[in-house]
Amino acid sequence: MPLPPGRSASPATETVLNEAFDRILRRNPGEPEFHQAVKEVLETLAPVLDRRPELLDAKIIERITEPERQIIFRVPWQDDKGEIHVNRGFRVEFNGALGPYKGGLRFHPTVNLGVIKFLGFEQIFKNALTGLNIGGGKGGSDFDPRGRSDDEVMRFCQSFMTELHRHLGEHTDVPAGDIGVGAREIGYLFGQYRRLVNRWEAGVLTGKGIGWGGSAGRPEATGYGSVLFTAEMLRLRGEDLEGQQVVVSGSGNVSIYTVEKAQAMGANVVTVSDSDGYVVDEKGIDLALLKEVKQVRRGRVGDYAELRGPSARYVPGGRVWEVPADIAFPSATENELNSDDAVTLIRNGVKAVSEGANMPTTPDAVRLFQEAGVAFGPGKAANAGGVAVSGLEMAQNAARVSWTFEKVEAELTRIMKAVHDKCHETAERYGSPGDYVKGANIAGFERVSDAILAQGLT
């Protein structure tokens, strides 16, 4: 694994990093997403390893890239017609040095072990950046909830939790939602967990309904946090979101609340998308209509365009990045924004890109943005708002209290500013001012590494 151009390392450090990545490729074959996530982190660590040789002596690289536990299990369930299906479930408890494993569950046909490991590895650093005491993990299944009835989703969730529950606990591993897992699924999962363990252990899952242990502001948190992080990047450049033209990809929970917060801060958001295409709305996205289509009707963005009228144009199979914008929020899924998209955005004058999804921008595209001077917020920093409010939900559960939306939003704003400032300060400290990728990776890595060292050979 050659280090990127323009970055240097001592021969010993370079050898360790190259050997580490080669070992990961050998031991984890057929997992390209995991390889990509690890490589992106390792490429930035040479300066800290040169400055802190004790991390090499303690084999921190080897320890932090190997999951503490990987769980794979069968999930049998029955559909409404009586047909039996068998899916595969996963939970990767990647690193618990800072606290109980924390990370979402993803239900999507593309889920496999490599995807879950990539997400869990990212989660380690993201959770560390929040400043909260939570470790990194991730889970899910190749089950597709799209088109399934509520009863079918319930039966699947009950079967999934029947196996997974033995590995969970508020002091052990605390899942949340992700793609395909929203309030409905969390409710079914929690209900089955409660039946199996005979305890009301509210802190074992986050993203719960507000009326039964959830936190105000949790649905909004990831999208809001991404916008707040972007506002901080712009602030350092003497700008804000007022009047900026914004494109958002996706139309799920993260995207909807990215639209909401960006609009609240004065931006003009003109796009949303799904796997079939995108819609561009010249008057700006009608947030109430978008919520009606996606959260109530469970429809597609094409339905939004049809209901919206002449200001909205649906582009089937198109790429949202072809729409000119000042700010872009890739908020759908991994590797959705490639180098060709980056060239188009840069040509059209994009100023900032903030990752609302996990690793949605390919490495080549990231490099192009950075070379063009575009402010780039990596997902492990920019979308940390979701897990931050999950941590606040855990705190409320432990104290048997509920906070107001205003208090949660104030805490989220404080945390996202602190995440931004930590990334910015760390990048400057290691000689790469303005490089939020390097700043996020090193800041998260140092915090986790210090915890690992303090706890001995674990």
- Catalytic site positions: 138
What is the rounded radius of gyration, in angstroms, for the C-alpha atoms of the chain? Answer: 21
CB 130 within 8 A of CB 419: yes
Q: How many CB atoms lie within 10 A of CB 283?
A: 12
Distances (CA, A) of 32 to 112, 356, 420: 11, 21, 29
Q: Is residue 102 a contact partner of residue 132, using CB atoms and an 8 Å limit?
A: no
Torsion sign, CA atoms 292, 246, 146, 312: positive
The DSSP code sequence of 245-283 is EEEE---SHHHHHHHHHHHHTT-EEEEEEETTEEEEETT
Yes or no: say if 105 and 143 are a contact pair by the CB < 8 Å rule.
Answer: no
- Distance in angstroms (rounded) separating the CA atoms of residues 62 and 393: 32
Q: How far is CA 380 from the centre of its chain?
A: 7
